[in-house]
Amino acid sequence: MKSILLLACVFSLMIFINPARALEVSITPPQTETTVNQQGWYTIQIYNDQPFTDDLIITVIGPHLEWLNLGGYYVTLEPYGRRDIKSYFFPTLEGTYQYEILVYSRNNNGNMATQTLSLKVLSEKDMKILELTGKKTGSELKVSLIVSSTEMRNAKIMFDIADSKGNVVKSLELLKEFQSGTNDIEETMSLDKLAAGNYKLSAYIQQYDTEKDITFSIIPFHSVITKREIVSTPFGQQVIITVTNEGNAVEDYSIKDTIQANQYVDFVNIPTTASIEGGDVNYNWKIEGLAVGKSVSIVYNVNRLPFVIGSFVMIFCVVALLGMGVVKVRMPNIRKKHVKKRNEHLIVLEIRGPMTSSLRNVIVRDMISPLGRVLPEFGGPKPVVRQSESGTELIWNLGDIKPRSEIYLSYKIQPLVEAQLKMPRASLSYRTGEDTKMKVFSKQVILEATVSHTSSI
Q: Is 4 exposed, middle or buried (0-12, 13-18, 19+ CB in 10 A)?
A: middle
More confident residue, 329 or 71: 71
Give dist(CA 74, CA 263) in Å, integer.
82
Q: What is the pTM of this model?
A: 0.36
What is the spatial distance between Cα 254 and Cα 249, in angstroms, rounded to a whole number?
A: 16
Model pLDDT for residues 339-381, shown as the tens digit of each residue: 887 777 888 989 998 877 888 889 999 998 888 888 888 888 8
Would you state the pLDDT for residue 319? 61
CATH number corresponding to 224-306: 2.60.40
Q: What is the mean pLDDT of residues 328-341?
A: 81
**343-368 in b/e burial notation, b at 16+ Cβ within 10 A?**
eebbbbbbbbbbeeeebeebebbbbb
Domain 127-218 - what CATH class?
mainly beta
pLDDT value of position 15? 43
Q: What is the pLDDT of residues 157-214, one digit of tens each?
A: 999 999 999 999 999 999 999 998 899 999 999 988 788 889 999 999 988 888 999 9
Asked, colleague to colleague, whether 2-122 and 224-306 share their fold, the answer is yes
Share of the chain above pLDDT 90, in %: 26
The secondary structure of the chain, three-state, reads CHHHHHHHHHHHHHHHHCCCCCEEEEEECCEEEEECCCCEEEEEEEEECCCCCEEEEEEEECCCHHHEEECCCEEEECCCCEEEEEEEECCCCCEEEEEEEEEEECCCCCCEEEEEEEEEEECCCCEEEEEEEEEEECCEEEEEEEEEECCCEEEEEEEEEECCCCCEEEEEEEEEEECCEEEEEEEEEECCCCCCEEEEEEEEEHHHCEEEEEEEEECCCCCEEEEEEEEEECCEEEEEEEEEECCCCCEEEEEEEEEECCCEEEECCCCCEEEEECCEEEEEEEEEEECCCCEEEEEEEEECHHHHHHHHHHHHHHHHHHHHHHHHHHCCEEEEEEEEECCEEEEEEEEECCCCCCEEEEEEEEEECCCEEEEEEEECCCCEEEEECCEEEEEEEEEEECCCCEEEEEEEEEECCCCEEEECCCEEEEECCCCCEEEEECCCEEEECCCCHHHHC
d(C-alpha 311, C-alpha 293), whole Å: 46
Tell me what pLDDT residue 1 has: 45
For 17-27, the pLDDT digits (tens) are 444 457 888 88
Predicted local distance difference test score (pLDDT) of residue 11: 46
332-456: CATH topology:
Immunoglobulin-like (2.60.40)
Task: Return the domain boundaries, the chain.
Answer: 2-122, 127-218, 224-306, 332-456
CATH number of 2-122: 2.60.40.10
Nearest to 15 by CA among 80, 78, 75, 102: 102
Query: What does pLDDT average to over the chain?
Result: 83
> pLDDT tens digits for 60-99?
999 999 998 887 788 898 999 999 988 888 998 888 999 9
pLDDT at residue 5, as a whole number: 47
Can you give the pLDDT at residue 181?
A: 86
C-alpha 26 chain-centroid distance: 49
pLDDT at position 2, please? 45
pLDDT at 321 over 50: yes
Query: For residue 437, what pLDDT band results from cuts at 50, 70 and 90?
Result: confident
